[in-house]
């Protein structure tokens, strides 16, 4: 009877954990006929073996013993003897590093406070660092760039850039002890005279240069093309009140015997871009020849010649139709090198003699037909674009 009750008790325990859909057990419960021969073969998985530590891995004897249910987080560290050992506490250097990391922001704040003179809030609210591309975009589009002192002096009409540098090195210019200035804020003195903060307006003129005038300002015995602009400069104050007079110069040069188109400005960047060989601007000349011009001469001019150690060839050479009022033959020659006396050397190398030479075009800008000798006209924005100026 005791065996039957124990068997029934075990049966109830199993039916509690198992689904009641097994018909065999249900029938046994209803009939209450349990035989003592019913046996259950219940086995459990063997315990996992403990991992074997390496031979050179030692356990820390100082580590406290752990209770059976306590979680163990091993730390494998290398001791002073060079051997690896297993311990339950983190390494001392890690604890020190965590302690230093917690105190680092406080040190940084104290350092910021020291650098800012006590105004920590103003220092922390300063403008954040921008990327290199963002700073470049800001400097090119919004910020007023500092300019070289010689450039500011030239724009103010004191002298050319080269002469301005001579004044600077001669100790005749004073400005905060620097060679880069902001003309809107810095006070500049030249020979004891204060330079006006307001710079002159940009001027762009096209001049029809007559024969006998030079393009430089150095020779006093020769007539300069700037003498042709005296009336323009004298009336400057009436047309532009409050603005200083510009210091004008020519873009490139024409020799004393050559007439035609010459550009006059006070914009150094514009002059540098137009006159530089990299601009690759074509220049058209009309050469009046003494004598007869044949095909052989045209071929010789087209083949080019060596000027200043460089072989120069023209873009095009054309014999123009003869006009009733001009008995001499005329050649239309287009070049782009811009070498000194290039057209004259090309014609001379072909065995011809030039009677007169006139420049009629630079880039896409042509000398206005109604512009008389010694006269000038102000260039518009469209004219500057035809000259290749990128605004």
Indicate if 255 belongs to the active site.
yes
| CA-based nearest residue to 269, from 103, 110, 151 | 151
3-state helix/strand/coil string of 56-125? CEEECCCCCCCCCCCCCCCEEEECCCCCEEEECCCCHHHHHHHHHHHHHHHHHHHHHHHHCCCCHHHHHC
In a domain, 83, yes or no: no
Q: Do 255 and 296 fall into the same domain?
A: no
Exposed/middle/buried for 262, CB within 10 Å: 0-12, 13-18, 19+?
buried
Residues in the chain: 391
Q: Do 145 and 191 fall into the same domain?
A: yes
In a domain, 210, yes or no: yes
| Number of structural domains in the chain | 3
- CATH number of domain containing 182: 3.10.290.10
DSSP 193-210: EEPPSSPPPP-EEEEEEP
Pick out the chain residues at pLDDT < 70.
1-73, 99-129, 137-146, 157, 176-179, 183-184, 197, 218-221, 391
Residues 6+ apart with CB under 8 A from 361: 261, 282, 283, 284, 367
Task: Give me the half-sphere count of Cα atoms (radius 13 Å) on the Cβ side of residue 347.
Answer: 29
Q: Do 230 and 296 fall into the same domain?
A: no
List the catalytic residue out of 100, 144, 237, 255.
255
pLDDT of residue 116: 54
Q: Do 150 and 211 fall into the same domain?
A: no
- CATH number of domain containing 357: 3.30.70.1560
In a domain, 272, yes or no: yes
Q: Do 211 and 250 fall into the same domain?
A: yes
- CATH number of domain containing 244: 3.30.70.580
In a domain, 53, yes or no: no
Structure tokens at 114: 């020291």
Record the pTM.
Answer: 0.56
Estimate to the nearest angstrom the gap between the alpha carbon of 11 and the chain centroid.
Answer: 87
pLDDT of residue 262: 95
Point out the domain boundary residue: 278, 313, 342.
278
Q: Can you tell me the distance from the alpha carbon of 214 to that of 232, in angstroms, rounded to the nearest whole number?
A: 19
pLDDT of residue 354: 95
* Tens-place pLDDT, residues 119-153: 555 545 555 667 777 777 666 665 656 677 777 77
Structure tokens at 110: 């104290």
Q: Do 226 and 261 fall into the same domain?
A: yes
Q: Do 205 and 247 fall into the same domain?
A: yes
Q: Do 134 and 166 fall into the same domain?
A: yes
In a domain, 47, yes or no: no
Q: Do 190 and 206 fall into the same domain?
A: no
In a domain, 187, yes or no: yes
| Mean pLDDT across the chain | 75
Task: Give me the half-sphere count of Cα atoms (radius 13 Å) on the Cβ side of residue 168.
Answer: 23
In a domain, 6, yes or no: no
* Tens-place pLDDT, residues 337-353: 778 889 999 999 999 99
* Tens-place pLDDT, residues 222-250: 788 989 999 999 998 888 888 888 888 89
Which residues sit opposite 305 in a β-bridge? 312
Segments forming the whole domain that contains residue 334: 282-362
Report in angstroms the alpha-carbon separations of 239 from 103, 229, 263. 69, 15, 21
Exposed/middle/buried for 325, CB within 10 Å: 0-12, 13-18, 19+?
exposed
Q: Can you tell me the distance from the alpha carbon of 18 to that of 23, in angstroms, rounded to the nearest whole number?
A: 12
* Tens-place pLDDT, residues 270-291: 888 888 777 788 999 999 999 9
Order the strands of the 57-59 sheet from edge to edge. 57-59, 84-87, 75-78
In a domain, 143, yes or no: yes
């Amino acid at each position: 009877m005791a065996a039957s009750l124990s068997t029934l008790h075990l049966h109830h325990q199993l039916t509690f954990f198992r689904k009641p859909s097994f018909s065999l057990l249900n029938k046994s419960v209803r009939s209450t006929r349990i035989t003592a021969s019913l046996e259950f073969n219940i086995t459990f998985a063997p315990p996992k073996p403990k991992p074997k530590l390496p031979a050179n891995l030692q356990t820390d004897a100082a580590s406290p013993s752990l209770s059976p249910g306590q979680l163990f987080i091993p730390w494998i560290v290398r001791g002073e003897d060079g051997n690896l050992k297993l311990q339950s506490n983190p390494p001392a250097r890690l604890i020190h590093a965590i302690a230093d990391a917690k105190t680092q922001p406080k040190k940084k704040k104290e350092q910021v406070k020291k650098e800012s003179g006590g105004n920590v809030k103003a220092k922390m609210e300063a403008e954040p660092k921008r990327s290199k591309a963002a700073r470049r975009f800001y400097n090119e589009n919004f910020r007023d760039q500092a300019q070289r002192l010689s450039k500011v002096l030239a724009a103010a009409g004191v002298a050319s850039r080269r002469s301005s540098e001579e004044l600077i090195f001669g100790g005749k210019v004073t400005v905060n002890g620097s060679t880069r200035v902001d003309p809107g804020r810095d006070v500049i003195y030249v020979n004891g005279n204060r330079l006006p903060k307001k710079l002159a307006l940009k001027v762009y003129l096209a001049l029809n240069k007559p024969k006998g005038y030079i393009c430089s300002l150095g020779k006093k015995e020769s007539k300069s093309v700037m003498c042709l602009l005296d009336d323009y400069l004298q009336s400057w104050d009436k047309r532009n009140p409050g603005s200083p007079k510009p210091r004008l110069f020519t873009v490139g040069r024409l020799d004393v015997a050559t007439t035609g188109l010459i550009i006059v400005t006070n914009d150094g960047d514009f002059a540098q871009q137009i006159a530089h060989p990299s601009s690759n601007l074509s220049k058209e000349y009309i050469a009046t020849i003494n004598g007869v011009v044949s095909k052989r001469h045209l071929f010789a001019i087209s083949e080019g010649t060596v000027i200043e150690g460089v072989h120069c060839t023209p873009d095009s050479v054309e014999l123009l139709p003869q006009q009733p009022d001009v008995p001499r033959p005329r050649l239309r020659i287009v070049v782009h090198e811009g070498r000194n006396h290039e057209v004259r050397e090309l014609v001379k190398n072909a065995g011809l003699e030039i009677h007169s030479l006139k420049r009629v075009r630079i880039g896409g800008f042509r000398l206005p037909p109604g512009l008389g000798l010694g006269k000038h006209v102000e260039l518009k924005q469209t004219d500057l674009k035809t000259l290749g100026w990128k605004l």
